């Protein structure tokens, strides 16, 4: 552990490590993630999904990158193949849940108020308002924000991060926490690429690789139905992988979850 | 922006500890934080007093220890320091690396002021 091996002692903090404990005081070693309560709730949510064989996908992006549009198009194309349900946490457009229900699948709107991210408790609350019987894929549309949603585990199995071509292709370099957490990246609104001279998908991909992230980067336009087959196949693969894991009694978490904690207590 | 939620979670965690140990209050606490945790140390330091007001941690000092970003190269095996948005091997430049340090958000230790009642728990632990 850190305190015994001294691996995280720096000249700045050494004084705290060796500060003598005063009488009547005690120093307790904790070594717990600050978001432990959220993580415990997330594990509980994941158990709900696993017991039903559901694949849960967390969608994250800036506001307006096309999360809801991608869901609408996906449901239209695949609702005969999978049973899909959606938890809407995006507060930018209050009618997102309505847009999803219009496609004929169940959607629950989380009222986030002014919250800038979803957390595992909000998602759990939403789960208890939904009938998940027979659902294959649950999409959780997070609040449009590239900062904090990446820090809160919701119990999802995979993270999908969207980057629309109307944003800069350097977004992954500006928001490394978010793009490092992505199990897959979607470059959205590619129908607009011919009108934009400053978004290079190869450059965006290279910024993702600079984060040591091997995630597939898929380019698509939900509106013009371009590149959707690759995305559908990715979804099919994820669902098959999830099912075989669940059948074997195991589960998975997004590929990159904070692991510094694990390494430090090892 | 979410640092207040993180500070609230932290205060809740240390309040539980105070109750568990039957202590009087929290003197100080030490948090290890890496830039890739997504939590900004200055914002967390600013949010902590708001979250701690009226709790056992009200007068506690928060020591934030910043963890460096370090990666282990899967290609050449080197362990080097990296920038948070360029997690490349400092030796061979490959991007096939694994983060060794830099995404921590860990409550390392808490110093408690014990009450008369806590008896044998005054024995110092850790350190
Ligand atoms: N040109 C184009 N516009 C799109 C596409 N997908 C979404 N949009 C538009 O982008 C805006 C935001 O989309 P929305 O799905 O609400 O984004 P969200 O906030 O991420 O859920 C809307 O005006 C959409 O019509 C696309 O593939 N091509
Ligand atoms: Mg939306
Ligand atoms: Zn937030
Ligand atoms: Zn439950
Ligand atoms: Zn190397």
Beta bridge partners of A185: A161, A217
Q: What's the mean pLDDT in B64-71?
A: 96
Q: What's the mean pLDDT in A129-141?
A: 95
pLDDT of B126 > 60? The answer is no
According to DSSP, residue B110 is labeled: E
**Total domains in the fold of chain A:** 1
B1 CA to centre of ligand 3 in angstroms: 5
Could you tell me the strand order of the sheet in which A184-188 lies?
A107-109, A84-88, A137-141, A55-60, A158-164, A184-188, A217-219
pLDDT at A247: 86
Which chain B residues are closer than 8 Å to A152 by Cβ?
2
Contact A140, A87 (CB under 8 A): yes
Query: Would residue A122 count as lying in a domain?
Result: yes
Residues A9, B67: Cα–Cα separation, whole Å:
10
pLDDT at A249: 87
Q: For position A257, which CATH number holds?
A: 3.40.50.300
Which chain A residues are closer than 8 Å to B127 by Cβ?
3, 17-19, 21, 27
Which of B63, B102, B114 comes nearest A26 by C-beta?
Answer: B114
Q: What does pLDDT average to over chain A?
A: 87
Q: Which CATH architecture has domain B1-67+102-119?
A: 2-Layer Sandwich (3.30)
Q: What is the pLDDT of residues A84-110, one digit of tens each?
A: 999 999 775 568 899 999 999 999 999
Query: Would residue A56 count as lying in a domain?
Result: yes
Query: Would residue A72 count as lying in a domain?
Result: yes
Q: What is the pLDDT of residues A67-88, one digit of tens each?
A: 999 999 999 999 999 999 999 9
Which chain B residues are closer than 8 Å to A176 by Cβ?
36, 84-85, 87
Lowest mean pLDDT among A167-176, A237-246, A251-260: A251-260
Query: Who has greater pLDDT, A14 or B52?
Result: B52
Q: What's the mean pLDDT in A195-221?
A: 97
Residues A9, A32: Cα–Cα separation, whole Å:
18
A10 CA to centre of ligand 2 in angstroms: 44
Residues with CB under 6 A from ligand 1: A 61, 63-69, 90, 92-93, 144, 188-189, 191-192, 221-223
Q: How far is CA A78 from CA A66, A101, A108, A130, A242, in A?
A: 18, 15, 19, 20, 18
pLDDT at A166: 97
- pLDDT bin (cut points 50, 70, 90) of residue A263 is very low
| ipTM of this complex | 0.84
The residue of chain A nearest to residue B10, with distances taken between CA atoms, is: A34
- Give chain B's end-to-end CA distance (angstroms, integer): 34
Query: Would residue A6 count as lying in a domain?
Result: no
- Kindly report the protein residue whose alpha carbon is nearest to atom 28 of ligand 1: A189
pLDDT at A261: 38
Max CA distance (Å), chain B: 59
pLDDT at A2: 25
- pLDDT bin (cut points 50, 70, 90) of residue B118 is low
pLDDT of A7 > 80? The answer is no
Q: What is the pLDDT of residues B21-52, one digit of tens each?
A: 999 999 999 999 999 999 999 999 999 999 99
pLDDT of A260 > 90? The answer is no
B84-111 burial, b for 16+ CB within 10 Å, e for fewer?
A: bbbbbbbeeebbbbebbbbbbbbbbbbb
Domain ranges, ordered by start, for chain B: 1-67+102-119, 69-101
Identify which of A66, A142, A149 to mutate to test ligand 1's pocket (most ligand atoms within 8 A of the CB): A66
pLDDT at A190: 98
pLDDT at A17: 44
B99 CA to centre of ligand 5 in angstroms: 13
d(CA B7, nearest CA chain A) in Å: 8
pLDDT at A255: 74
Query: Would residue A71 count as lying in a domain?
Result: yes
Domain span at A80: 14-263
Query: Who has greater pLDDT, A140 or A25?
Result: A140
The pTM assigned to this predicted structure is 0.88
A186 CA to centre of ligand 2 in angstroms: 15
CB contact under 8 A, A173 and B110: no
pLDDT of A264 > 90? The answer is no
Question: Which ligand 1 atom sits closest to the C-alpha of A222?
Answer: 27
Closest CA to B103 of A250, A255, A155, A136: A255
Q: How far is CA A217 from CA A112, A113, A142, A145, in A?
A: 30, 32, 19, 19
Query: Would residue A115 count as lying in a domain?
Result: yes
Which chain B residues are closer than 8 Å to A116 by Cβ?
1-2
């Amino acid at each position: 552990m850190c305190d015994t091996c001294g691996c995280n002692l720096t000249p700045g903090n050494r004084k705290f490590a060796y500060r003598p404990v005063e009488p009547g005081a005690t120093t307790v070693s904790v070594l717990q993630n600050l978001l432990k309560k959220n993580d415990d709730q997330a594990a509980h949510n994941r158990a709900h999904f696993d017991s039903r064989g559901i694949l849960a996908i967390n969608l994250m992006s800036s506001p307006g990158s096309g999360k809801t549009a991608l869901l609408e198009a996906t449901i239209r194309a695949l609702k005969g193949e999978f049973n899909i349900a959606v938890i809407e946490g995006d507060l930018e457009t209050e009618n997102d849940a309505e847009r999803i229900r219009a496609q004929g699948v169940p959607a629950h709107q989380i009222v986030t108020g002014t919250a800038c991210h979803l957390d595992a408790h909000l998602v759990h609350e939403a789960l208890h308002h939904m009938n998940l019987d027979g659902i294959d894929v649950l999409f959780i549309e997070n609040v449009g924000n590239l900062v904090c949603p990446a820090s809160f585990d919701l119990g999802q199995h995979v993270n999908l991060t969207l980057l629309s071509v109307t944003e800069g292709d350097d977004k992954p370099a500006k928001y490394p926490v978010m793009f490092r957490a992505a199990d897959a990246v979607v470059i959205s609104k590619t129908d607009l690429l011919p009108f934009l001279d400053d978004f290079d998908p190869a450059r965006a991909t290279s910024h993702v690789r600079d984060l040591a992230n091997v995630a597939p980067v898929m380019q698509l336009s939900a509106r013009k139905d371009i590149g959707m087959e690759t995305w559908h196949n990715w979804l099919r693969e994820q669902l098959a992988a999830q099912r075989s894991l669940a059948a074997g009694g195991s589960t998975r978490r997004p590929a990159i979850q904070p692991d510094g904690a694990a390494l430090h207590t090892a | 922006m979410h640092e207040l939620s993180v500070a609230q979670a932290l205060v809740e965690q240390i309040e539980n500890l105070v109750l568990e140990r039957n202590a009087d209050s929290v003197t100080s606490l030490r948090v290890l934080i890496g830039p890739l945790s997504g939590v900004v140390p200055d914002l967390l330091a600013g949010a902590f007093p708001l979250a701690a007001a009226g709790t056992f941690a009200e007068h506690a000092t928060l020591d934030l220890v910043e963890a460096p970003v370090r990666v282990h190269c899967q290609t050449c095996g080197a362990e080097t320091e990296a920038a948070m948005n360029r997690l490349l091997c400092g030796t061979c430049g490959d991007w096939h690396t694994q983060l060794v340090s830099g995404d921590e958000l860990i409550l390392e230790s808490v110093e408690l002021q014990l009450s008369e009642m806590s008896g044998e728990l005054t024995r110092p632990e850790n350190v």
